């Protein structure tokens, strides 16, 4: 089965006292396993809406969204998600925030503690494991969310502008790390980005969404022969 299969997906937001907002208009998408796909489009066109539906945290109004051939009923353990603004638990330390999926899925805490510390190193937050989210900048919090999305090695990654709040140098490093993880651990990645150069550099396929109501209007294959980091 495809990693992601979307057919006729439509999302309508009800607005009290105003007209409904049509965010997605019967869009179709197929992602094969192992693809790295970037999703670009104008602000407000429905990209985040699409990602939240695939993450199982928002239901579609109409149409079908399948992950590996299965209908979505909620968040899935094999899908790692990074939302546009990081959602961390303020009462949990950084380490415990990264470990959240381990607790929720009741995995072996001792084993995953070292994985969490390794991921904190990868997102350049070594030494911050005992701190609390409020002690970290927005960009650092976003990197905690990235580490958390990777903790149980999900086969599918959904990322909504994960590097938007980062400075240029950190952003470049994170891009390289993401590409390395994708190659080494054979993941399927759907990445929303504002940056066309970033999309073309990272992805092997770029999907372009129309202005709202969003639907995929272009599906571009990027040359796979170019060198990879
Ligand atoms: P993008 O990620 O491409 O910027 P979004 O998916 O965030 O677009 O939003 C698409 C449209 O839906 C926008 O007009 C936005 O204002 C609207 N929207 C998003 N979330 C909600 C919501 N929870 N309630 C009402 N309208 C929403
Ligand atoms: P401890 O490890 O001391 O048991 P936790 O850090 O796991 O404490 O949890 C602290 C608080 O956060 C508890 O009230 C717990 O119910 C709540 N909590 C933990 N995980 C979640 C979650 N995924 N969603 C909502 N609340 C949570």
Residue pair 209/11 in contact by the 8 Å Cβ criterion: no
Q: Out of 57, 75, 90, 92, give the residue to mutate to test ligand 2, the one with the largest number of ligand atoms within 8 Å of its CB.
A: 92
Percent of the chain topping pLDDT 90? 83
pTM, to two decimals? 0.87
- To 10 degrees, the CA torsion angle through 181, 197, 148, 57? -120
Percentage with pLDDT > 70 across the chain: 97
In tens, the pLDDT along 75-90 reads 999 999 999 988 999 9
**For a pocket test of ligand 1, which of 42, 46, 60 has the largest count of ligand atoms closer than 8 A to its C-beta?**
46
**What ipTM describes this predicted complex?**
0.71
């Amino acid at each position: 089965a495809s990693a992601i299969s979307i057919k006729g997906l439509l999302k309508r937001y009800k607005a009290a006292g105003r007209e409904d907002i049509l965010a997605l208009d019967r869009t179709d998408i197929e992602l094969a396993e192992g693809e790295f796909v970037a999703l670009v489009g104008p602000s407000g066109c429905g990209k985040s809406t699409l990602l939240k539906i695939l993450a199982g945290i928002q239901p579609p109004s109409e149409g079908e969204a399948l992950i590996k051939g299965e209908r979505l009923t909620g968040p899935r353990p094999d899908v790692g998600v990074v939302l546009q603004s990081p959602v961390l638990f303020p009462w949990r330390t950084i380490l415990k925030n990264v470990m959240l999926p381990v607790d929720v899925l009741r995995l072996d805490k001792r084993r995953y503690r070292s994985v969490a510390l390794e991921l904190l190193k990868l997102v350049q937050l070594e030494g911050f494991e005992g701190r609390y989210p409020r002690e970290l900048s927005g960009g650092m919090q976003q990197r905690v969310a990235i580490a958390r999305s990777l903790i149980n090695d999900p086969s599918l990654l959904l990322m909504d502008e994960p590097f938007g709040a980062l400075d240029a140098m950190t952003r470049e490093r994170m891009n390289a790390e993401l590409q390395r993880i994708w190659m080494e651990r054979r993941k399927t990645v759907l990445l929303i980005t504002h940056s066309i150069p970033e999309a073309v550099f990272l992805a092997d396929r770029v999907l372009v969404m129309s202005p709202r109501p969003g639907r995929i209007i272009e599906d571009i294959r990027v040359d796979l022969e170019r060198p990879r980091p």
